[in-house]
Copies of this chain bind each other. A is one copy, B any other.
Amino acid sequence: MSDKSTRDHIVEAADQLFYHNGFEHTSFSDIADAVKISRGNFYYYFKTKDDILEAVIDVRLAKTRAMLDQWERDGRTPAERIRSFIHILITNRADIKQYGCPVGTLNAELAKLDHGSRPEAAALFMLFRNWLCKQFALLGRKRDADALAMHVLAMSQGVATLANTFQDDRFIQREVQQMDDWLALIADGEVPTSRPARVN
């Protein structure tokens, strides 16, 4: 039918450019230059720029699902799996320092543009939220699993935002360390529901 490589190259380049420079700030010409095709060729694969965004989000959704599945196979305990999530901050710290969190910044931009693909971008967050929720439930925190998932998500977002603004690596390291310690307490059942630890 169709040679998928060109379409894939477009989506791949758009994905990176949207992350690095933002969706609106990225033009057709920018993507065309990156893929080294003519500007007119886009219309053969995508009707509008918004269609490219949808394709990019779809790819990100698929990649995220694959990553979460992999973590579920690799991590022997729920705590280990949650730790895998937290440690993306370390793994991707170079990119985060330069461009922030790809999920958070995309959602923030689409909110300002009042863009039609906001729900799909939010689904990206929902993927992590539900996965984390599941892991906390397995940890025996069924009652407040979602609250804990949101808490971890919020921390990660905040750390990414500040690391980006202040261009600070060690801040990431420090906050991840704290989250690891916090997670260990949760895993040991030492933190009361929905409340911070209280010293006896």
Check A161/B21 contact, CB under 8 A, given A166-B122, A196-B182: no
A142 nearest CB across to chain B (Å):
17
Q: Are A190 and B199 in contact (CB under 8 A)?
A: yes
- List 5 A-B pairs, minimum CB-CB distance, nearest first: A158-B158, A154-B158, A197-B197, A22-B112, A157-B158
Q: Is the CB of B196 within 8 A of A107?
A: no
In Å, the complex CA distance between A154 and B195 comes to: 19
- When the two chains form their complex, are residues A181 and B153 in contact, meaning their CB atoms are under 8 A apart? no
A interface list, Cβ under 8 A from B? 20-22, 24-25, 98-100, 104-105, 107-109, 111-114, 121-122, 125, 147, 150-151, 153-159, 161-162, 164-166, 171, 174-175, 178, 181-182, 185, 190-191, 194-200
Q: Bound complex: CA of A47 vs CA of B171, how far in Å? A: 38
A134 CB to closest chain B CB (Å) equals 18
Which single member of B159, B194, B198, B200 contacts A154 (CB below 8 Å)? Answer: B159
Q: Which residues of the partner chain B approach A98 to less than 8 Å between Cβ atoms?
A: 111
Contacts of A178 in B (CB 8 A): 151, 194-196
Copies in the complex: 2
Task: Decide: A198 near B200, CB < 8 A? Known: A22-B112, A161-B107.
Answer: no
Closest chain B residue to A124, Cβ basis:
B165
Shortest CB-to-CB span from A186 to chain B, Å, is 10
Additional A-B contacts beyond A125-B165, A190-B199 (18; CB < 8 A): A22-B109, A25-B113, A99-B112, A100-B112, A107-B165, A108-B109, A125-B166, A150-B162, A150-B171, A151-B178, A153-B162, A154-B158, A155-B155, A161-B161, A185-B196, A185-B197, A185-B198, A200-B200
CB-CB nearest in chain B for A196: B182
